[in-house]
Chains A and B, each alone.
Chain A
Amino acid sequence: MTFLSDYPITWDMDCQGGGERPGVLLERLIGALGSDAVKTAPEDLAVYSFDAYTDGGSPTAVVLPASTQEVSAIVKIARDCGEPIVARGAGTGLCGGAVPIVGGITLSFARMNRILELDLRNRRARVQAGLINADLSRRVAPSGLFYAPDPSSQQISTIGGNIATNAGGPHCLSYGTTVNHVVGLEVVDDRGEVFSTHLDDTGYDLTAALVGSEGTLGVVTSAWLRLMALPETVRVCVAAFGDIDSASEAVSAIIAAGILPTALEMMDAVITATVEAAFHAGYPTDAGAVLLVEYAGLTEDADAAQAAIHAIAMRHGATSWKSARSEAERAALWAGRKGAAGATGRIAPNYYTQDVCVPRTKLPQALCAVQRAASENGVTVGNVFHAGDGNLHPLLMYDRRDRKQVAAVVDTGNAILHSAIELGGTISGEHGIGWEKRDAMTRVYSTADLATMGRVRDVFDPARMLNPEKIFPSGARCPEVTPQ
Chain B
Amino acid sequence: MKALEGRVAPASAQELSEILACCDSAGEKVTIVGGDTLSGMGLPPQRADVTLLTTALNGVVRNERADCTMSALAGTPLQSIATLLATQSQFVPIDAPQARSATLGGTLAAGWLGPRRHLYGRPRDYVIGSTVVLADGTVARAGGMVVKNVAGYDMSRLYVGSFGTLGVLAQANLKTMPLPPQARMFFAPLPEHTRARACVQIAALAIAPAAALWIDGFRAAIGGDDGAEGRIAVLLEGSAPALERATRDVRSALGRAGVPDTFVVDAGARQSFERIVDAYVASLGERSITYRVLKPVQDPETSAVAVKELARHFGLRFESIADVMNGDLLLRISASDSRRLGAKLENFDDALHDLEPRAQVVACAHPHRTNLQVWGAPPDALEKMRALKARFDPNNTLNPGRFIGGI
Contact = CB atoms under 8 A, between A and B. Distances in A.
Interface of A: 119, 121-122, 124, 165-166, 168, 172, 176-177, 179-180, 189, 195-206, 208-209, 211-213, 217, 229, 232, 252, 255-256, 258-260, 298, 300-301, 304, 357-361, 386, 389-391, 424-433, 437, 441, 444-446, 448-453, 455-456, 458-460, 471, 484
A122 B161 CA distance: 23
B160 interface: yes
B152 A389 contact: no
B241 to A, nearest CB: 4
B153 A258 contact: no
Interface in B281-305: 294-298
Contacts of B121: 176, 180
A206 B381 contact: yes
A327 B144 CA distance: 38
B337 interface: no
Nearest to B293: A200
Contacts of B148: 168, 172, 177, 357, 386, 389-391, 429-430
Nearest to B239: A301
Contact of B157 (A179, A198, A450): A179
Contacts of A445: 141-142, 151-152
Contacts of B297: 121-122
B186 interface: no
Nearest to B403: A203
Interface residues of B, number: 77
Contact of B385 (A204, A255, A450, A471): A204
B360 interface: yes
Given A259-B178, A360-B66, A445-B152, A206 B385 contact: yes
A425 B69 CA distance: 13
A197 B207 contact: no
- In this complex, which of B67, B155, B206 has the most chain A Cβ atoms within 10 angstroms of its Cβ? B67
23 contacts: A119-B296, A121-B297, A122-B327, A177-B148, A180-B125, A199-B122, A202-B404, A203-B378, A204-B161, A212-B150, A301-B239, A304-B241, A359-B67, A424-B146, A426-B151, A428-B149, A429-B148, A429-B149, A444-B151, A448-B138, A449-B141, A456-B155, A460-B384
B327 A431 contact: no
Nearest to A119: B296
Given A205-B157, A212-B150, A176 B125 contact: yes
A20 B64 CA distance: 57
Interface string B382-394: 1011011011101
A203 B160 contact: no
A255 to B, nearest CB: 6
List the 8 closest pairs (A to B, CB-CB), nearest first. A208-B157, A258-B178, A300-B241, A201-B379, A452-B140, A256-B66, A429-B148, A203-B379
Given A166-B154, A425-B146, A205 B178 contact: no
A360 B64 CA distance: 10
B48 interface: no
A256 B67 CA distance: 7
B376 A255 contact: no
Given A195-B381, A204-B388, A450-B152, A358 B146 contact: yes
Contacts of A195: 380-381, 384
Nearest to A253: B66
Nearest to A457: B153
B139 interface: yes
A172 B175 CA distance: 14
Nearest to A200: B294
A202 B360 contact: yes
B124 A205 contact: yes
A165 B150 contact: yes
B222 interface: no
Contacts of B145: 359, 424
